[in-house]
Amino acid sequence: MKLKILNIDGNNNGDIELSDKIFSLIPNKSVIQSLVDWQLNHFKPRTAKTKQRGEIKGSTSKIYAQKGTGGARHSSRKAPIFVGGGIAHGPKGAIYKIKKINKKVRKLGLFHVLSQKNKLKSLYVVEDFKNEIKKTKLFNKFLKKII
């Protein structure tokens, strides 16, 4: 399979031979969907964290005697019931990368996406013009020409 190589002006700059193994697959939507879900889930920062009872600085001594005060029993000021104490069930700051897919499935998903793009005639091969584009306006012109 051959595709045209486009340059900064949107003109044809030769052809490139591409493998039919990659670009002529029948796209499987479930594989593509699992790849998209994995990517969205994988790149979330998930950084919210609250201090638990054991992470609060301060004394761990009892605030008053267990018996004889007439009040409820309390341990230290680090308990979640007190202002300045730990948070009982707050976010732990864990990274929740729940969705896991194997490397081979990721690679297969990429092949299916490329095949789908090729099928819809929206796959372009662009020449390296990183040094030529200095303004967004130039890149927007390029996009308008090819699309």
Tell me which residue of 131, 135, 114 sits closest to 32, measured CA to CA. Answer: 114
User: For 23-53, how does the pLDDT look when each residue is reduced to its tens digit (9 = 90+)?
Assistant: 889 999 999 999 998 988 888 777 888 999 8
Spatial CB neighbours of 37, under 8 Å, sequence gap ≥ 6? 99
H/E element, 35: helix 29-42
Q: Which residue has the tokens 């920062």?
A: 45
H/E element, 23: helix 20-23
User: For 98-134, how does the pLDDT look when each residue is reduced to its tens digit (9 = 90+)?
Assistant: 678 899 999 999 999 999 999 998 888 888 877 778 8
Using CA atoms, how far residue 137 sits from 55, 58, 143, in Å, is: 51, 58, 10
> What's this model's pTM, rounded to 2 decimal places?
0.64
